Structure 1
């Protein structure tokens, strides 16, 4: 079973400005701070404008507030590794893993500009291969990712307005 998450983030900026923001390690650090990540390592290789950027965010979050049926699988902390491969300033393939845990998250991010607004549409497929509770965990992960995307959007709007 697979859960699909689709969410659109919007920014009052040009595509070039949003692409530059996504390539800025300071922005990625701020997103982690705003999401109360315990520890993170951010690596950005290449350039968004050149159409060959890779972003890796290796982060550890507290497992607070996670239901007991899921917490026994992840423990007190959750290590999440997000890898983005930007083939152009406007399109990325995304893969998210939780090392050592069954499941995967993969999808895309696409930036489109219209009338001074950029929409970043993120589509992710969430698969957790655990009998009986996999579907519940997929739903939980989807909810957590949606919360993280909304937080990133708030951080990005503040970043672009400064």
Structure 2
């Protein structure tokens, strides 16, 4: 069983601006560094033509881990996130895979950036799985709640990056 999380956010910047950002390894690190700690690592970054693949490692600070998940841990919670994007001037399409090493928690899904009248819309659709008998559904809901709490700060970081690039350009 899994729990679905679908989110979308509008941005006042076009798809070409998003595509340029997605082609930069630093963008991926910055967008996830919601607590400003600088502890996000870009483990791998590959760009071949219109395709981008990035692997990120993100430790989650104590206190930000749902209690039901914290009980499964024997140390710091680390999230490994792989994003694969196909970039275009009118649409960017991506896949995301997330794993939490040494836990039965994972996520898999799609991402897209599409043009809208006043800019673009980033959409994320994930299936979150916690393969724990009897407790899996509760863990999944806790993870979804945690992700929803972080998306506002991630949105702010993406907006700042795109605004800074527009000013620089």
TM range (shorter): 0.7 to 0.9
Is the Cα contact below 8 Å between 2:78 and 2:100 reproduced in 1? yes
The Cα shift of 1:52 comes to: 1.2
For structure 1, which segment, 3-12 or 19-28, has the greater mean C-alpha deviation from structure 2 after superposition? 19-28
2:83 aligns to what? Answer: 84
User: 1:142 and 1:29 mapped to 2: Cα distance?
Assistant: 21
Could you say if the C-alpha distance between residues 13 and 107 of structure 1 is closer, same or farther in structure 2, counting changes exceeding 3 Å?
Answer: same
Is the Cα contact below 8 Å between 1:82 and 1:97 reproduced in 2? yes
Structure 1 gap ranges (5+): none
Q: Deviations over 1:124-148 (max 9, x none)?
A: 0001110121111100111122223
Structure 2 gap ranges (5+): 165-169
After TM superposition, the score normalised by the length of structure 1 is: 0.88
Alignment: residue pair count: 160
The Cα shift of 1:73 comes to: 0.5
User: 1:68 and 1:5 mapped to 2: Cα distance?
Assistant: 20
For structure 1, which segment, 85-94 or 27-36, has the greater mean C-alpha deviation from structure 2 after superposition? 27-36
After superposing on structure 2, the runs of 4+ consecutive aligned residues of structure 1 that deviate more than 6 Å are none
User: 1:82 and 1:37 mapped to 2: Cα distance?
Assistant: 18
